[in-house]
Amino acid sequence: MKNISVAICDDEEFFRDSLYSLVTACMNENKYTFSIERYTDGEMLLEDVASGDKEYDLFFLDIDMPKMSGMDVAKRLRQKGANGIICFVTSHDRYALDAYKVEALGYVIKPAQYVDVKKLVEKAVIQIFHQYDIKEAEKRFLEINTQKGKTLVDMQNILYIEKRRNQSVIHLEAGEVVCYESLKSLYDRLNQSVFCYAHQGYVVNFDKIKEVLPTFIALGEGREVPVSRKYQKELSERHMNMIYQLQEARRKERMAAETV
């Protein structure tokens, strides 16, 4: 399950800690996996987000802070490309209209009540998981142009991709798809920790490799991909390391089972 990362920004310790307790209780009640960071001012929060050290799914921002108001923090977050869901915490509701300018989900009136926090958190989590599902789908499925138009290919089913003139042939576990896109262009859109070049004209799904031999890669069921000297050594070493890691993991599992 996705970890929901939350930032609470309030200059007053009492309200900051109170909101922390309420959000924690709500997350635990719904059995969400989560983490919460507390900030005393917006500048510290913006520095963390801008540096890339922190990325949050949900922000609770106090409107009335002395150095920088929560509204200004929200505007700066949007300018920096932060897409997390924003909720405001305020002693009054006169900022309700401005909240929509930064695409805020809503606001909580101080002192925060559990029922109000719970409603906002549950609405936020629905949106967070929806955004997460979209991102995961984008990582898993590759949109390509074929003779019949655009189609989606599940990358987990790709064995290898072959360059063929100005086209690319995507070889799947069941059949193949001709794509009107260059091999390099496709490779640039793939997860390059999984897909790798085996030859100038071939990109292979590393997870599907059964054996790396001097002149070709075996993918099982008689399927082979040529491998050039440029890539053979690196692929062979990487594949052997993966085998050793699997063997070690199985050995530890057997040892753990024997001690029970």
The percentage of residues in the chain with a pLDDT greater than 70, rounded to a whole number, is: 95
- Is 86 found in the same domain as 152? no
- Domain end among 91, 112, 138: 138
Separation CA 54–CA 44 (nearest Å): 11
Range of the domain at 220: 147-259
Number of domains in the chain: 2
Whether residue 126 sits in one domain with residue 214: no
Q: Identify the pLDDT of residue 94.
A: 60
Q: What is the pTM of this model?
A: 0.61
Q: What percent of the chain has pLDDT over 90?
A: 62
- Give the tens place of pLDDT for each residue, 28-74: 998 999 999 999 999 999 999 998 888 999 999 998 898 899 989 99
In this structure, are 52 and 83 located in the same domain?
Answer: yes
Task: Kindly report the number of other CB atoms within 10 A of residue 199's CB atom.
Answer: 20
- CB proximity list for 182: less than 8 A, separation 6 or greater: 163, 166, 168
Within this chain, do residues 202 and 253 fall inside the same structural domain, yes or no?
Answer: yes
Q: Are residues 92 and 114 in the same domain?
A: yes
- Whether 109 and 170 share a structural domain: no
d(CA 179, CA 164): 10
Are 120 and 159 members of one domain? no
Last residue of a domain, one of 97, 115, 138: 138
Please report, for the domain that includes residue 55, its CATH number. 3.40.50.2300
